[in-house]
Structure 1
Amino acid sequence: MERVWQQPCASCSDGGASTPQLVLYNSLVDRKVPFVPAAGPGSKQISWYTCGPTVYDSAHVGHARNYLSFDIVRRVLEDYFGYSCLYVMNVTDVDDKIILRARRNHLLASYAAAATDSQQVFVDSQAALAAAVDKQQSKLAEAEAALAEAQSADCSGGGAEKRREELATCVAQEQLLLSKQEAAAAAAAELGAAAGVQQLLDVAGDALAVQLDQRLGATVTDPAIYRAHAAKYEAEFLEDLSALGCRPPTVLTRVSEYIREIVGYVQQIVDNGMAYAIQGSVYFDTQAFRAGGHTYGKLNPWAVGAAALAGECSDGGEKRHPCDFALWKAAKPGEPFWDSPWGTGRPGWHIECSAMASAVLGAKMDIHTGGEDLRFPHHDNELAQAEAFYHSCGCQQWVNYFLHSGHLGIEGLKMSKSLKNFITIRQALESFSPRQLRLMFVLQPWEKKMNYGEQAKEEMRSKEALLRNFFANVEVVLRTQKVAATGQRWEEEERGLAAELDCAQRRVHEALCDNINTQAAMGALSDLVKAANVYLAKRDGAGGPGPQAFLLRSAAAYVTRILSVFGLAPSPGDCLGFAEAPSTAACGGSEAVLDALTAFRDKARGMAKAKAPAAELLAACQGVPDAQATAAGSSGRAADMLAVFVAFQREVEGLAASGAPAWQLLAACDRVRDDTLVELGIRLEDKPDGSSVWKPEDPAVLRAEQQERQRAAAEARSKKLRSQLDLKTKELDKFEKLAALPSVQEALADKYSQWDPEGGMPTHDKQGAALAGKALDKALKEVEKQRKLRAPLEKKLSEDPACLQTLATEIRMLRAELEGLQGAASTGENGCA
């Protein structure tokens, strides 16, 4: 018998609806276009280059907007759509900004170290701030003139409007900078010459550094100054990326490591007739480039020719055309340099990305990303350089998809280091958790502008709590619902929730296909969570069937999957090896932190045992921050370990500064070992030679050992308390009995009738006869005996008139502590509170 099978078709599966195709907003055409890999429609291999940081200062939340947003896009492409990305990121460690900042910081530090006369510092500050205000006024006037010219020009259209819009933003930025310079000048004037040197430098330091650089910049010749500056902020940036949960690049390129390739790249452009050398510098020839059949300014054509938008440094009038830009800059005093065919010098601003991306990815790449502010001139110049380099190959499109993240605004302007209106990533992470910060960007279209504000913190916490509560509710069902004992029949409620799950899956897929719209995808997940909560509420009533655990788990698993795609939950793509491997599960990539913590603790213990001076302990603490920076881990667990390290270091530092005895420091070392590290699954063993070793361990095992130590300590304490209680109870009983005794006169009243009021001695016997001779001696002995009996109480009362009350209070406290220990022991034994 012939078997019959009918192939499903679109019309019978989804009513004829077409399958969504992934589209991306491509800045090269400023619209959404279908995404097709360069290797072909069926390929899953794609190449990606992203502009990394210029490491001259701390990264801010505006940078986080760029790197987090594209980390989310990358995760969606990799973990949802299944692409394999060759992801390249550059680090600009040779640049005008780095050179200026490193040199100025060095000169200002030298000035501050030598400054002793606050009057002279005040005079220098006034002059520097006045010069800064004058310069900024000139820059504002230039920006206003450029805007006025653009507004009066007889032209219309999208390009003209965008040009005017960007020039207006430029004016606002220059106005902000001028207001900051004027505020600094006013603050310095208010401080006056009587202010301290550091107070003045805090206000006028930046302006002073500019003045110092103009006079002394050429004297800074040590290349280590520039490299150390860049290395510091590169390390900080990579730590920030790790703290934000961003996946590391496949390839990290540094300008200083690709000088040879950059020189060769520039030479090829010169050989192709699209660059020229003048006085040791090389400039890109935009007019020759256009004559060669290429288009200059593909991304921002309306910005070409606008000096206020070009962002280039002065060239000394060497360029043939105002639009030309430097590929290689001739060496100047006070700058790092390398050899080249045109003499010593260094790369220009843009050439690094073209050369390094070409060195790794070649003549064609799928995706190039960066911030919106890099469109022009940086990315437009990148494209021109690459097309000029590959001119003989007929290259007209080096990048297929240019993606630009929208600006992050604060107070209406782009967050920027140059505007000094930024919040560092580390400052932001004091208000937001990494997940909350990522969630804030997930809930915004990656290519649109957005504003940063502290008010978003509570909103993100609320949204995070909604998801946490959902997962907690599902966990309760999974833990409490026994499948064998409950009905599994689907009713209307189950079919409704299943339909909501199916709808959410379809909506998420459509949203992610539509330019990776994570905002819409999160909306679909939110609706699914609400539907599940409604279902749980309906099934929570008494007498009816309970909720279906399997169905709820499916819904929760899908929500978890999409959250993990966005980096909001742990993702398999972020882990290496087997999750249960001790070195991974127990240590979580925090080995370096644990090594540093152990070494520091060993040193502290050794110094405490040797009773080292407090100054030596404080000196040991000062070496810890470098270890922390080196050990800052690449996972949340490493961050937990680092927090323990920092807390312990601060405790040791505080004890040393207060001159605490050695036993307190040793007790702090014991607490880290016996308490703090237990929940982190780390066993710390002290060796006889004073060193220690850490080992990963099951926290349950460590908790059991901890409980046993606590039980033994409680038992020893109880024994000591009982002994103290017994002694003090007997002492109080003894003194209370003595206190209850009659006075000496009352005790001997049946033998003596009269007493000396001053000496307290008897003078007459019971019959009234005066005492003399042996009778008097006998009376004195009886009085002395009575006095000796009462002497301990009288001595105690002379030392502390309230001794009986004090003893009674101490006994009550001992009993209360003993009862507390016994109650805790009973709770531990019974396993209940």
Structure 2
Amino acid sequence: MRSIVAARPFFSSLKLRPLVLASRPPRFFRSYSTPNMASITVHNSLKPGAPVPFVPKADGKISWYACGPTTYDLSHLGHARNYLSNDIIRRIFQDYFGYEVNFVMNYTDVDDKIIIKARRQRLLELEKEKSYTPEQLRELVSKAFQAYAQSNLALLVAEGQPTLDENNYQGRKDAAYGKVLAGGTLTGEGRPGDPEAKIKMHLNNMDSAAKCLQTSSGFDGAEDILLPYLDSLYKETIDTSDQTIFTDLTQRMEKAFNDDMTALNVLEPTAVTRVTEYVPQIVSFVEQIIQKGFAYEADGSVYFDIGAFEKAGNTYARLRPESRNDKALQEEGEGSLSKSSGGQKKRDADFALWKRSKPGEPYWPSPWGQGRPGWHIECSVMASDKLGDNMDIHSGGIDLAFPHHDNELAQSEAYFHQCGNGEHTWVNYFLHMGHLSIAGSKMSKSLKNFQTIQDALATTYTARSMRIVFLMGRWNDGVEISGDMRKQADSWENTLDNFFTNIKAKVAEADVPTDGVKDLSLTGAGSTLAEDLEQAKKDLDAALRNSFDTPSAMQVILRLVRNANIYMNDKATSSDLQSVEAVARWVTKIVGIFGLDATATPPYNGLGWGSASAAAAANTDPRTAAKPYAAAYERVKADVQALNLSATSIQSALEQSPESEFAEAEKSGERDMEKLAIPYLRATSRLRDELRAIVPSLGSESQAKQAVLALSDRIRDYDLTDLGVQLDDQIDKPSLIKFVPAARLIAAREEKASLLAEKARQKEEARRAREKAEEEKWAKAKVPPQEMFKNDPKYTEWDADGLPTKLAEGNEAVPKSQAKKLKKDWDRQKKLHDEYLSKFGGKA
């Protein structure tokens, strides 16, 4: 038997001495003298309720195991919620509180989901290689259609109904599940949740298959119902001695996951483990549990004996005691391939440590025959190998609390259990991340109600905006996707983005040293902002110590930035740049700690968050990095020279070369793209400022004035905008140079052009409407009042002025009330006609 990956020697790094370790009391409630490491509290699932004091077992160090992904499909936003939350807390521990964190994460690369998906993909490939006639293919899809309904949508195939097919499917679907599709529940009570989401998912699969049958399009669209059907027919024919059908999938999905985490700026784990690298260790771990009397073998499978475990004085289901008898969760924890996987269990709640492999499943040798690890045992073995018999933190999504984490705890504490020493503490703090939900249901692959991280980053979010969304909710609370949540996050980001842009521009304008503001010992107006900063530091510290309350921390930052903006924009105040810069540098440090700047590294002493282009330029030769800005300057300079302007100020600006300033920056070793670009941008902006200054001296209608204005606008709106540079005009001061993402500036330019075009279109439409109204007015005015009623068929007789006197209907005189109205109309027409005669002299 060949394993997927060669395993390392059992517990190569564990160095366990169970008797000694088990008898040592955990250093769980030790106090610390170091101020920054004191009084941190955290929500601990092992102690439900209010946050409890966090005290790691080693001074200044934290051991942490996080449940990693099951590598069978692309990761979605629900995974992003979990791993970003882990990353945020880890960064706060490391970069704010100063802990050294040993962060271990696993990849589950052998699992029921992996086995099923890899095997089914292979079966579908083999099926597509067969030579089917159209009739045979249709029969195959039809059988799969009926089997899928039988397994997942029982109401469609109730006893006594005709055979289900694509023609009667729609009617039966509406009758059986119409209420669910309309937003109701299966029971008719409460709000829809996971069961309803699962029904909708199955119906979507059936919809696609029905369409496939109606259009005779072969396999296309029917894969979701075909895969389980083919698996039921041929799964035992797959040769699993060649495990590449599984590893090809897991290695591809592991790479995709890592790419997603890199894109989201998630720190790499200190160490990574994979189940397939630990199979021999898992076998030995299970043997030890059997030897201690806490597990038993049954026909090739091994089960954990909950009764024996509790009889020895241990507690089972410590995280979710209310769920210990939940059969649905127990079955989910055992996996969809676990039915009839071995002999009779002693009790339903006993869970598998080792599963006998059936035909069509991967297998490894063991004392109990060929089999594979149970789901829960994997993490116990890998975490214990890396972190020993006791760890500070174990984390994962809230949906893993039971049975996965509860079973992990039980089997690990059974492994390390020593008779007479009481219950063993394997984990001190369990952190469970709240899951992401959509329309009341947990976002998950099994429900197909998810958006992949790749798709989300391509269409909806940036890495920063996604992280902000999660920072604005508590890590242990559920998050419901909503438009309001996105708007709030976007507003927060835009406020900080504008603040950073403005302060960086002000610092560059002042040309002050940029090595950071060390202290705030300010007087006058700046002292108020200094007080705001000190209060913000205290408030943020209190928030992070309160179980990493990032929503409160984000509000602290927002309030401080708004105060700084008010102070910076207060025209009545002589703005103290140092105080505002100090605020900006502190905010920069905090957003760096939160992982909101992918270009930043500890200790985050920069000013504002960086951009992708700036990060790329940092690894580029300075002259190359500055080349686009130098080229823009040379182009502008040539165009100004071509205007042949005689103004002394223009000639002086043309003579001031930016090269010496750039050479000085280059010589100093500067690699910041913005600082390398500034000499050329200042020179370009100076030329434009001088052009604008001479405009009043040019003739109001002169060609020179029009040329100067056109060039000035082009420099601002195109030459610099396309480089991601915004110029803000200032009275009696040089224009303020701001670095803004080019895409944003270009979008604003296009939006402005679109608005101007729309305004021009509306103006033209209004002009045409006025012309038409004028035309119609004079066409009407041309008719003499004596003639205006003559062609009206309602009347048969008129007086000398052309006013009607007799009605056509009934040959009666025009009533007085009507005659009075007609006279008013006649008077208005006479006035209008007189105006016409006066204007046109009676000519057409």
Measure, in 2, the Cα distance between the counterparts of 1:139 and 1:448: 36
Q: Report 1:451-462 matches (<5 A).
A: 451-453=480-482, 456-462=485-491
Instruction: Give 1:448's match in structure 2, choosing from 477, 489, 504.
Output: 477
Measure, in 1, the Cα distance between the counterparts of 2:194 and 2:633: 65
Measure, in 2, the Cα distance between the counterparts of 1:494 and 1:116: 82
What's the offset of the Cα at 1:187? Answer: 4.1
The one-letter code of the counterpart of 1:534 is I
Q: Which residue of the partner structure matches residue 506 of structure 1? A: 538
Contact residue 368 and residue 399 of structure 1 kept, 8 A: yes
Contact residue 522 and residue 530 of structure 2 kept, 8 A: no
Instruction: Give 1:343's match in structure 2, choosing from 353, 359, 369.
Output: 369
Q: Which residue of the partner structure matches residue 238 of structure 2? A: 220
Q: Which residue of the partner structure matches residue 56 of structure 1? A: 72
The answer as to 2:372 corresponding to 1:353 is: no
Q: Which residue of the partner structure matches residue 156 of structure 1? A: none
Distance 1:480 1:386, change over 3 A: same
What's the offset of the Cα at 1:681? Answer: 6.4
Instruction: Give 1:414's match in structure 2, choosing from 442, 456, 459.
Output: 442
Q: Report 1:135-174 matches (<5 A).
A: 135-137=151-153, 172-174=193-195
Measure, in 1, the Cα distance between the counterparts of 2:385 and 2:422: 18
Measure, in 1, the Cα distance between the counterparts of 2:39 and 2:521: 37
Instruction: Give 2:264's match in structure 1, choosing from 233, 241, 244.
Output: 244
Contact residue 59 and residue 424 of structure 1 kept, 8 A: yes
Q: Report 1:624-773 matches (<5 A).
A: 698-700=623-625, 702-703=627-628
Q: Report 1:27-106 matches (<5 A).
A: 27-40=45-58, 43-106=59-122
The one-letter code of the counterpart of 1:469 is N
Q: Which residue of the partner structure matches residue 561 of structure 1? A: 589
Distance 1:356 1:573, change over 3 A: farther
Measure, in 2, the Cα distance between the counterparts of 1:707 and 1:531: 37
Measure, in 1, the Cα distance between the counterparts of 2:614 and 2:243: 34
Deviations 1:476-531 (A, max 9, x none): 332334789xxx99565322211211111111000000000011001011110111
Contact residue 294 and residue 309 of structure 2 kept, 8 A: yes
Deviations 1:557-589 (A, max 9, x none): 11111111110125765799x99xxxxxxxxxx
Instruction: Give 2:415's match in structure 1, choosing from 389, 396, 400.
Output: 389
Distance 1:640 1:75, change over 3 A: closer
Deviations 1:206-258 (A, max 9, x none): 22111111111112222110011111101100110111000000010000111
Which stretch of structure 1 is more off in the superposition, 562-571 or 696-705?
696-705
Which stretch of structure 1 is more off in the superposition, 337-346 or 516-525?
337-346
Deviations 1:671-719 (A, max 9, x none): xxxxxxxx7866xxxxxxxxxxxxx5643465489789999xx9xxxxx
Structure with more helix by fraction: 1
Distance 1:341 1:187, change over 3 A: closer
Measure, in 2, the Cα distance between the counterparts of 1:187 and 1:212: 17
TM-score (norm 1): 0.62
What's the offset of the Cα at 1:188? Answer: 3.0
The one-letter code of the counterpart of 1:207 is I
The answer as to 2:219 corresponding to 1:192 is: no
Deviations 1:646-687 (A, max 9, x none): xxxxxxxxxxxxxxxxxxxxxxxxxxxxxxxxx7866xxxxx
Q: Which residue of the partner structure matches residue 670 of structure 2? A: none
Measure, in 1, the Cα distance between the counterparts of 2:575 and 2:70: 54
Taking only the aligned residue pairs, the percentage that are identical comes to 38
Q: Report 1:484-499 matches (<5 A).
A: 493-499=525-531
Q: Which residue of the partner structure matches residue 769 of structure 2? A: none
What's the offset of the Cα at 1:832? Answer: 10
The answer as to 2:431 corresponding to 1:403 is: yes
Measure, in 1, the Cα distance between the counterparts of 2:313 and 2:453: 44
Measure, in 1, the Cα distance between the counterparts of 2:538 and 2:603: 28
Deviations 1:245-294 (A, max 9, x none): 00000010000111121111111101110001111111111111111111
Instruction: Give 2:502's match in structure 1, choosing from 452, 473, 476.
Output: 473
Distance 1:292 1:461, change over 3 A: same
Measure, in 1, the Cα distance between the counterparts of 2:720 and 2:344: 84
The one-letter code of the counterpart of 2:197 is L
Measure, in 2, the Cα distance between the counterparts of 1:512 and 1:195: 60
Q: Which residue of the partner structure matches residue 661 of structure 1? A: none
Calculate the aligned-residue CA RMSD, in Å: 3.8
The one-letter code of the counterpart of 2:509 is T
Structure 2 unaligned spans of 5+: 1-34, 158-188, 514-519, 640-706, 722-844
Question: Which SS does the other structure have where 2:429 is aligned?
Answer: strand
What's the offset of the Cα at 1:171? Answer: 8.2
The one-letter code of the counterpart of 1:510 is A
The answer as to 2:384 corresponding to 1:366 is: no
Q: Which residue of the partner structure matches residue 208 of structure 1? A: 226
TM-score (norm 2): 0.62
The one-letter code of the counterpart of 1:108 is L
Distance 1:827 1:548, change over 3 A: closer
The answer as to 2:354 corresponding to 1:325 is: no
The answer as to 2:103 corresponding to 1:178 is: no
The one-letter code of the counterpart of 2:544 is L
Distance 1:489 1:390, change over 3 A: closer
Structure 1 unaligned spans of 5+: 1-16, 142-167, 580-634, 642-678, 683-695, 715-818
Q: Report 1:577-588 matches (<5 A).
A: none
Q: Which residue of the partner structure matches residue 302 of structure 2? A: 282
Contact residue 140 and residue 175 of structure 1 kept, 8 A: no
The one-letter code of the counterpart of 1:176 is A
The answer as to 2:39 corresponding to 1:21 is: yes
Corresponding residue pairs, total = 565
Q: Which residue of the partner structure matches residue 454 of structure 2? A: 426
What's the offset of the Cα at 1:384? Answer: 0.2
Distance 1:639 1:531, change over 3 A: closer
Distance 1:79 1:189, change over 3 A: same
Measure, in 1, the Cα distance between the counterparts of 2:579 and 2:586: 11
